[in-house]
Amino acid sequence: MRILVTGKNGQLGRSIQKIVNTDTKIGNNQSPNDFIFVGREDLDLSSETSISRYFNNNKFDIIINCAAYTQVDRAEQEAELANQINHLVVKQLGSIASNQRAKLIHISTDYVFDGESNKPYLETDTPNPINAYSRTKLAGEKALQTVMPMNALVIRASWLYSEYGNNFVKTMLKLGKERDELNVIIDQMGSPTYATDLADAILEIIKHKKFRDVAQTTQIYHYSNEGEISWHEFAKEIFKIEKIECEVNPVTSQQYPTPAKRPRNTLMNKDKIVKVFNIKISNWKSSLNACMTILKQKQ
């Protein structure tokens, strides 16, 4: 079994590596040696020819694509680069996986939705992205479904954070220690995703009979932690756990404009992934505590 994981230096890529290297949960018929982790230095996704060359020399059974262009605001200025990584690369990986008869797991985002629904989004709801980043992510999903109608799986995640890289939790911890008060958005609702939980779910899926043994039509699944919160509530909980005395002032998206517009409510319904792959989903507070415990140990 050869399993390729792209984006090895990103939040999700590092979270998968953490589990694979330290855990026995990867399954009886899999070993850490089955996994090949690649970063930009091993496989430059901005070059179509470098991708072709890499896969001409390397064959896989499963490809897990954790690489992406994830700078939501900067994508407004760099739409072409974002499109290359989030759309055209995904299309190319889909064709390669089909040719190699590999299965492919690709990660997308809750931001494919416009956030105007008052109900949790289902996988069957119609996307309507409202910024450049999300348009490229949706284009990637659609291209993958076209070039790889069988054996690919798209997981839409939301508000990803981890002990790695830059994310909301780490930014709040830093700013909260430096300042007496902070303004945080209250009118964008959703659910955070602890990258370790998503990594766990992916590793569960690739062990699952329904993924491994059966040819399936390409499917989309939603995944995040349980619960519905605003960024404001998220920040308050981070400070509460860390006992940081910093006032969190609620502000609206209108009071805090950003280059890229963000959707108002992107809570996703996760019943499908729970039912099909028997995935257990933790509440956002317990996962936040788990991440912050690790961050504390690292200090």
Ligand X SMILES: NC(=O)c1ccc[n+]([C@@H]2O[C@H](COP(=O)([O-])OP(=O)(O)OC[C@H]3O[C@@H](n4cnc5c(N)ncnc54)[C@H](OP(=O)(O)O)[C@@H]3O)[C@@H](O)[C@H]2O)c1
Q: Which residues would be at the binding site for ligand X (CB under 6 A)?
A: 7, 9-13, 39-40, 44-46, 66-70, 85, 107, 109, 137, 157-160, 165
Kindly state the tokens that stand for 150: 């069988």
256: annotated active-site residue: no
Nearest distance from C-beta of residue 109 to ligand X, angstroms: 4
Given 69, 121, 133, 164, the catalytic residue: 133
Nearer to ligand X, 9 or 183 (CB): 9
Nearest distance from C-beta of residue 29 to ligand X, angstroms: 26
Nearest distance from C-beta of residue 227 to ligand X, angstroms: 16
Nearer to ligand X, 133 or 245 (CB): 133
Nearer to ligand X, 155 or 248 (CB): 155
Nearest distance from C-beta of residue 45 to ligand X, angstroms: 3
Nearer to ligand X, 9 or 245 (CB): 9
Return the active site residues: 133
